Amino acid sequence: RKEVEQDPGPFNVPEGATVAFNCTYSNSASQSFFWYRQDCRKEPKLLMSVYSSGNEDGRFTAQLNRASQYISLLIRDSKLSDSATYLCVVTQGSSNTGKLIFGQGTTLQVKP
């Protein structure tokens, strides 16, 4: 079983749609959680951290369910510029090495 699992997609949605991505992780000791965005042939960039209480940044909402070891990302009112691969990322257990475990990513294509 992969440490971080995501549906690779692609998710093809029209502009203005709401789309949700899910992610599961295997290590219950993981402490920090993130969504990164990666454009084609570019480096990953932090989209948002994910907090236990859930958090929102504009059109993006992230949720964490520690009991189910499940993370989600909701994008409302999709824009063409949201087309990218979204990486679910967790810290490796409770160690302080700063090691991150990356999912393979979910690809989103927003169509006009």
Paired strand residues for 37: 45, 86
Interaction between residue 104 and other proteins (CB under 8 A): yes
Interaction between residue 97 and other proteins (CB under 8 A): yes
Judged by CB under 8 A, which of 9, 13, 76, 102 binds other proteins?
A: 102
Strand boundaries in the chain, DSSP class E: 4-6, 11-14, 19-25, 33-38, 44-50, 55-57, 60-65, 70-75, 84-91, 100-102, 106-111
Residue 42 to residue 48: CA distance in whole angstroms: 18
Interaction between residue 65 and other proteins (CB under 8 A): no
Choose the stretch contacting other proteins; rule: CB under 8 A; options: 10-18, 21-29, 69-77, 92-100: 92-100
Nearest to 86 by CA among 1, 2, 9, 3: 9
Subset of 12-51 contacting other proteins (CB under 8 A): 31-34, 41-46, 49-51
What is the radius of gyration, based on Cα positions, of the chain?
14
Site size toward other proteins, by CB under 8 A: 27
* Least distance (Å) between residue 62 CB and other proteins: 11
> Which residues would be at the binding site for other proteins (CB under 8 A)?
4, 8, 31-34, 41-46, 49-51, 87, 91, 96-105
